[in-house]
Amino acid sequence: MVSRTIPVETFDLVLFGATGDLARRKILPSLYRRFHAGQVPEDARIIGAARSDLTDDAFRKDIRAAIDEFVSKAKRDGPTIDAFVERCSYIAIDAKGDGGWSELKSAVRDEAIKAFYFSVAPSLFGPLAAKLRENGIACENSRLVVEKPFGTDLETAKTLNADLAASFDEHQIYRIDHFLGKETVQNLMAVRFANVLFEPLWNERYIDHVQITVAETVGVGGRGSYYDTSGAMRDMVQNHLMQLLCLTAMEPPTRFDPDMLRDEKLKVIKALDPVPAEDVVRGQYKADGKEPSYREDAENEDSLTESFVALKVGISNWRWKHTPFYLRTGKRMTRRLSEIVVQFKETPHSIFERDGGSKANALTIRLQPDEGMDLSVTIKEPGPGGMRLVNVPLDMTFADALGAEDEIPDAYERLIMDVIRGNQTLFMRGDEVEAAWAWTDPIIDAWEERRDRPHAYAQGSVGPEEALMLLHRDGRRWRDLEGGS
């Protein structure tokens, strides 16, 4: 399959926090890959900005090292890397002072699209945005990209929104969630809205329940102090899992328009039911003899912060009233996996014996690893032994479908190019963020008021036993993290 790319206008991208880990691992390698693909204009420029006092040559050396570590060998060639780093420069910036701002104003071009990427702590969002306006650097042709966490509760999210709104209009602000840049997430919309096969069945009449899982094998070592003020609910559910839920549950927009799509996601968030205590399970991983416990990683022996959370969520609208959504996410689990499982109901009447192997259909959307999707269907097992039924997957793994010579673009590649194009479809709007916190805050407040202690779970497991019971009591079961039913 030949990859098609849409060219973009020339741009100046100013990367605040250019010496940080995210810039090194994701942002700069993603920009290089798009340059390698011929999608970045020849006269585009990337300006790194941070507190460190670096020369252009030192910054370029760091970029080369990042490309060498995080870009596949097939896309690393000397002339292309040389051409890319020549478009990169560096300015030392004092986020709250005056240092570097006049130099930055001289460096960016008024005739180019100006994109400002805040890969910094949220406490700097407001001051940096204000400095860009005060120094006459930002203009109507500017775009602002901000990373999560976008607030820690509704009050702080409102404050951040207000701080950014004082310097930028809403249509200029791009709140990035890398999950939305994944190929599979966008294909979820294509599967639903471009095929007559699924949308008539996409409701509580035919779907028994939906499971959304984001499991990680890593712990919180190295970032334990940050994570202990956040936890799985704030770090993952309020943003990543919420976005996956919205895209799965939303109504079809009138057309594929950024604001129309985000309007429909907002309606889903506002239709979410309050979650009672019995529908929430929290956990902490314990020590296993080799790896430390969560509390050791967080350096807080009295921590009540969860490294795992599972919830049963209801949506009060006509489409989903009787279909529960089960969400779970956790650290130190048996496998790294992100997926959405749409479990259809059993056939109303089976003419076959129930023990003959027939199971209800399920559509599984895999975000990572091995992006793709499969639909389980029941067929007759080959052979003369009677009508024995077996479930088989109709599998579409994107790497296989695209061909071995093609590499699926990283989510950041797509999202950064969408910023340059001015396409906000895959970015969160301010009212969407606030609505998500308005739903999340009461859940967190309730368990903090009760002083609930998270359930201990073994590292390399599927989480605490209580999370299994969350589904068992409804006569259901989690999909096996190893890929089984």
- Tell me the C-alpha distance between 199 and 190, whole Å: 11
What is the per-residue pLDDT for 59? 96
Distances (CA, A) of 105 to 129, 142, 144: 14, 13, 16
Count of H helices and E strands in the chain? 17, 15
- Tell me the C-alpha distance between 45 and 347, whole Å: 58
- Sheet of strand 337-344: strand arrangement: 389-397, 372-380, 362-368, 337-344, 207-215, 325-330, 308-313, 280-285, 455-457
What is the per-residue pLDDT for 409? 78
CB-CB contact of 401 with 125 (8 Å): no
What is the per-residue pLDDT for 46? 97
Confidence of residue 243 (pLDDT cuts 50, 70, 90): very high
**DSSP secondary structure letter of residue 485:** -
What is the per-residue pLDDT for 5? 54
Residues annotated as catalytic are 240
Q: Considering the entire predicted model, what is its pTM?
A: 0.90
Residue 135 has pLDDT above 60, yes or no: yes
**Rounded to an integer, what is the distance from CA 182 to the centroid of its chain?**
8
Q: What are phi and psi of 69, to 5 degrees?
A: -85, -35
Percent of the chain beyond pLDDT 90?
Answer: 69
Strand duo 325-330 + 113-118: pairing: unpaired
Determine which of 7-11, 213-217, 265-269, 412-416 has the lowest per-residue pLDDT on average: 7-11
In the structure encoding, which two tokens stand for residue 137, read together? 């650097």
- Report the amino acid identity of residue 387: M
What is the per-residue pLDDT for 404? 43
What is the per-residue pLDDT for 204? 95
Residue 397 has pLDDT above 60, yes or no: yes
- Tell me the C-alpha distance between 57 and 90, whole Å: 9
- Tell whether omega for the bond before 276 is within 30 degrees of 0, i.e. cis: no
| Mean pLDDT of the region 102-120 | 94
CB-CB contact of 190 with 184 (8 Å): no
- Report the amino acid identity of residue 323: T
What is the per-residue pLDDT for 405? 44
Nearest to 471 by CA among 367, 343, 362: 343
Per the listing, tokens 């509580």 go with 204
Percent of the chain beyond pLDDT 70?
Answer: 93
Residue 402 has pLDDT above 60, yes or no: no
* Three-state SS at 45: strand
pLDDT in tens, 49-92: 999 999 999 999 999 999 999 999 989 889 999 999 999 999 99
What is the per-residue pLDDT for 7? 60
Residues in the chain: 485
Surface-to-core class of residue 57, CB atoms within 10 Å of its CB (0-12 exposed, 13-18 middle, 19+ buried): exposed
Q: Report the run of H or E that residue 144 belongs to, with start and end.
A: strand 142-146
What is the per-residue pLDDT for 398? 58
Surface-to-core class of residue 344, CB atoms within 10 Å of its CB (0-12 exposed, 13-18 middle, 19+ buried): middle
* Three-state SS at 428: strand
- Tell me the C-alpha distance between 401 and 437, whole Å: 38
pLDDT in tens, 422-444: 999 999 999 999 999 999 999 99
- Across the chain, mean pLDDT equals 90
Strand duo 207-215 + 173-175: pairing: unpaired
Strand duo 45-50 + 11-16: pairing: parallel
Nearest to 29 by CA among 70, 82, 60: 70
Per the listing, tokens 């109709």 go with 394
Under 8 Å CB-to-CB from 283, ≥6 apart: which residues?
306, 307, 308, 309, 330, 454, 455, 456, 457, 463, 464, 466, 467
Residue 3 has pLDDT above 60, yes or no: no
- Tell me the C-alpha distance between 236 and 188, whole Å: 20
Say which residue, 101 or 183, is predicted with more confidence: 101
Residue 2 has pLDDT above 60, yes or no: no
| 14 strand-pairing partners | 47, 116
CB-CB contact of 53 with 20 (8 Å): no
pLDDT in tens, 15-43: 999 999 999 999 999 999 999 999 999 89
Residue 360 has pLDDT above 90, yes or no: no
Residue 1 has pLDDT above 50, yes or no: no
Determine which of 283-287, 351-355, 474-478 has the lowest per-residue pLDDT on average: 351-355
What is the per-residue pLDDT for 92? 96
Distances (CA, A) of 323 to 208, 224, 345, 383: 6, 36, 10, 38
Residue 179 has pLDDT above 70, yes or no: yes
| Mean pLDDT of the region 354-360 | 63
Per the listing, tokens 């009295």 go with 302
Per the listing, tokens 């294909």 go with 187
Residue 337 has pLDDT above 70, yes or no: yes
What is the per-residue pLDDT for 226? 84
